[in-house]
Amino acid sequence: MKKTTIVLAILLLAGVATAQTMIPLPAFNNTYSSTQTRGFYCQVPCAIEVVGLRVPNEASQTLQNVVLFKNDTAPPAFSGTVDLTKKIEVKLIGQQKDVILPCSAKYAKDDWLIVIGAYGDGTRLYNSYAARGCYSSNINNLPVTLCRCGIQANLVTATQFLVWSENAYNVCRVEVYYNVIGGFICNAPQKHSISSPTPASIDLSGGQATNFYQIAASLGNTMTLNLGTCSVQLDLDGVLLYSVLVGGPYFNSYAGTLVGGAGSGSFAPPANPALVGVDVYHAAASYSTSAVTDCSNTVKTTLER
């Protein structure tokens, strides 16, 4: 652990920022007043950071409420549901009307962005509906499709979020503002078989420095790992984070490790059935001499049989 502390302590970071943009929404059609909450979902085509949320207020109400999720798959078709209670990225309840609510939630390419939002309180909600059907939109000029999702509950009072989709029905409009995450990118597969003869690839690209440190951690305690002025989000157990290795990036143990090197690499988890279902989180820092020039997005690989 001493080596880990020394290396991380010298990392300084300059972040990369761009002007925030709203995901284009379909036109308003009608207000749906109910005790239930609606929204939309889409698969993001590039790495982004959601930096603001706002619920349209055609019903001229006082309190806006919005919840943002991140998941590996789209919500199932109604009446199926997926429990996203532990996948909440942002939860803003009883907020000031009409303003863009600042937030921070990072999405890697191919993550599913799921958002529900409405005006109102614990007794009545007002959802901003578009016309029926999915809507062709874009993120960073890359095509995305917004489709309807929701919960059969009031998001103000809900303690569990069982989310479904209904692609043929009305998209509920929620404004989502984002920045494209540029610079250093860490890409890894969403899923990898422990019995695969081919190691899973980790591709590190866009870094301005000559050395990269790729961070991998198993299931543990969710935490923020600070690297100077930058941070990455990991599901990390510090007790299991045990070494910094200089050389080609590789996966050393499902217990978690820091690995170092430049360019692309791979990891090959042991063919141990106990690893099935374990999530391995990846992020990276682009490092030169005594300064970090950029941080990557955080991505996750789920180990399968």
> What is the domain-level CATH number for residue 6?
2.60.40
Whether residue 199 is found in the same domain as residue 263: yes
Whether residue 229 is found in the same domain as residue 88: no
**Domain that residue 153 falls in:** 21-180
Q: How does pLDDT run across 229-239, given as a tens digit for each residue?
A: 566 666 554 43
Query: For the purposes of burial, counting CB atoms within 10 Å of the CB of 86, is it exposed (0-12), middle (13-18) or buried (19 or more)?
Result: exposed
Most confident among 60-74, 131-145, 272-286 (mean pLDDT): 60-74
Whether residue 54 is found in the same domain as residue 30: yes
71 vs 290, more confident: 71
- Number of structural domains (the chain) is 2
Last residue in a domain, options 141, 163, 180: 180
Look up the CATH number of the domain holding residue 88. Answer: 2.60.120
| Neighbouring C-alpha atoms within 13 Å toward the C-beta of 304 | 9
Amino acid at 143: P
Last residue in a domain, options 135, 155, 180: 180
Which of these ranges, 4-13, 29-38, 50-59, 280-289, has the smallest mean pLDDT?
A: 4-13
256 vs 38, more confident: 38
> Integer distance in angstroms from the first to the last C-alpha of the chain?
31
What percentage of the chain carries pLDDT values higher than 90?
47
Whether residue 188 is found in the same domain as residue 243: yes
Whether residue 67 is found in the same domain as residue 191: no
Whether residue 161 is found in the same domain as residue 83: yes
Cα pseudo-dihedral 202, 278, 115, 119, rounded to 10: -140
Whether residue 52 is found in the same domain as residue 162: yes
Whether residue 285 is found in the same domain as residue 209: yes
Most confident among 39-43, 104-108, 289-293 (mean pLDDT): 39-43
Average pLDDT rounded to a whole number, residues 265-280: 74
Last residue in a domain, options 145, 180, 215: 180
Whether residue 126 is found in the same domain as residue 42: yes
pLDDT reading at 182 higher than 50:
yes
Q: How does pLDDT run across 40-95, given as a tens digit for each residue?
A: 999 998 888 899 999 999 999 999 999 999 999 999 999 999 999 999 999 999 99
Whether residue 228 is found in the same domain as residue 159: no
Whether the CB-CB separation of 65 and 127 falls below 8 Å is answered with no
Percent of the chain as helix, strand, coil, to the nearest 5: 5, 50, 45
Whether residue 39 is found in the same domain as residue 174: yes
Whether residue 79 is found in the same domain as residue 28: yes
Q: How far apart are CA 65 and CA 54, in angstroms?
A: 9
